[in-house]
Structure 1
Amino acid sequence: MNSDLALLRLLQLASPGLPVGGFTYSQGLEWAVEAGWVTDAKGFAAWQREQMHDTLGHLDWPLLARLYRACQEDDAEAFAHWSMFLLANRETAELRLEERQRGSALARLLDGWQLAQAPAWRASLELSQLGGMAWLGAHWSIPLRQLALGHGFAWLEGAVMAGVKLVPFGQQAAQTLLRDLGEALPAVLDHALALDDDQLGGGLPLLAIASSRHETQYTRLFRS
């Protein structure tokens, strides 16, 4: 696949129009706003920076790299291992359910394209959206670095759009946050890709508390 087509496929994977339901989750932000932990754009930026360095930098991106390499090497066993590792590191029932629901939605899309339906791969692909992105990235010859940055920007954009509804702040502030927070993504990615297996894993206590409390929050805009 030529580089132009690979870029177009990456934009498709990173698009908020990808039917995996990402816009329906706040990943703890809704409770954080309710509790007064996040009250303005500055507080939102600090909240997201912590997740960028911990979750994205020490879990999602290193695992994306391992899942991608497993696809390139046709190693379904390694792919299954890292898919389960990712799920095990989602700290709450809400986050694990989101991971599975996103994965199932993307797997159904793959079914519609008649891709990745071999039994050795299909069950693992249902576990996470990250696995489906890795599989399609390898299949479509999207370079790993570009795939990871596309995934990171999509994650950041989804969080900012949730912030617009919840904090709230306006579209000008939203675009400024995307610009400023996005500047840190390449350096975080460099660090993430250099990690060894025994350095993987995230842990943010306030995020876990916020996600757990969201389940019983009286009024919710986002799924729990």
Structure 2
Amino acid sequence: MRRPAMDTRTPTDGALADLRLRQLTSATLPVGAFAYSQGLETAVELGWVGDLPQAAAWIGGQLQHSLARVEVPLLARLMAAFSAGDRDAAMHWSGLLLAMRDTAELRAQERALASAWAVLLGDLDLDDARTWVDLPQRTALALFALAATRFRIAPPTAAQACLWAWLEAQVSAAVRAVPLGHTAAQRLLYELAQDIPAVVASGLAVADADIGAAAPALAIASCRHETQYSRLFRS
């Protein structure tokens, strides 16, 4: 009996967009995000984070008070700029994010990840991504927004996925730095993930003039991590 030919038709837009989004947030994405702790390693060194409740407070606090007021509203504006083909606006919002990174370490991380994203997305046939490789205003968030726009992912969905990827990376860092057991890490993901929909909703409602957040402890930890003697994570 002859085998039927394989159906090579393109899936529906929604199905393909969902699969693309899963790829963009995969822990296997070769951009090097696992190499950074974003101040968490020094928070552990200083005794600020030493167990599950303290890790939840540190990570959850950033989610509620920083990402909600910076990453989420800027992601929405970046996606709108890319959708409109407005490169100047995209560079403006990306440059604003970079200016809000308080330390040399955090700015270096943003640029390094952005360059890796640009090369990767270029290899995935998003040719315009490569033009961001060496831009002074490049950020990882801008490249994520570019990919999400090209893959026809709705901004609220993209924002939820972006926060999930950040949360998963922070919990992974906590497993290594605190350290947390794997079951405790899953509990942390389970508890904090339930805050993401509300964080996205509040972030999408932030006006242009209100974008911004203050995270003094994070800035202090990041500054001190730049010269910390013993480190698991990149500075």
Distance 1:119 1:6, change over 3 A: closer
Alignment coverage as a number of residue pairs = 224
Q: In angstroms, what is the RMSD of aligned CA positions?
A: 1.7
- Maintained 8 Å contact 1:107/1:125: no
| Partner Cα separation in structure 1 for residue 73 and residue 166 of structure 2 | 15
Aligned to 1:39: 50
Q: Does the residue aligned with 1:11 lie in a helix, a strand or coil?
A: helix
Residues 42-61 of structure 1 deviation map (CA, whole Å, 9 limit, x = unaligned): 00000011110222101011
Aligned to 2:128: 117
The one of 195, 206, 213 aligned to 1:202: 213
Aligned to 2:192: 181
The one of 177, 186, 198 aligned to 1:166: 177
Q: For structure 2, list consecutive stretches of 5 or more residues without a partner in the other structure.
A: 1-11
Q: Percent identity?
A: 47
Pair 1:133 & 2:108 matched: no
| Partner Cα separation in structure 2 for residue 2 and residue 173 of structure 1 | 37
Distance 1:62 1:166, change over 3 A: same
| Partner Cα separation in structure 2 for residue 20 and residue 176 of structure 1 | 26
| Partner Cα separation in structure 2 for residue 72 and residue 223 of structure 1 | 34
- TM, length-normalised to structure 1: 0.95
| Partner Cα separation in structure 2 for residue 47 and residue 14 of structure 1 | 22
The one of 61, 67, 70 aligned to 1:50: 61
Aligned to 1:67: 78
Q: For structure 1, list consecutive stretches of 5 or more residues without a partner in the other structure.
A: none
- Maintained 8 Å contact 2:56/2:188: yes
Distance 1:49 1:61, change over 3 A: same
| Partner Cα separation in structure 1 for residue 127 and residue 199 of structure 2 | 30
Deviation at residue 144 of structure 1 after TM alignment: 1.0
Aligned to 1:86: 97
- TM, length-normalised to structure 2: 0.91
| Partner Cα separation in structure 2 for residue 108 and residue 129 of structure 1 | 12
Distance 1:65 1:71, change over 3 A: same
Give the AA of the match of 1:28: G
Judging by fraction of residues, say which structure has more helix: 1
1:88-103 alignment runs, 5 A limit: 88-103=99-114
Deviation at residue 114 of structure 1 after TM alignment: 3.8
| Partner Cα separation in structure 2 for residue 75 and residue 91 of structure 1 | 27
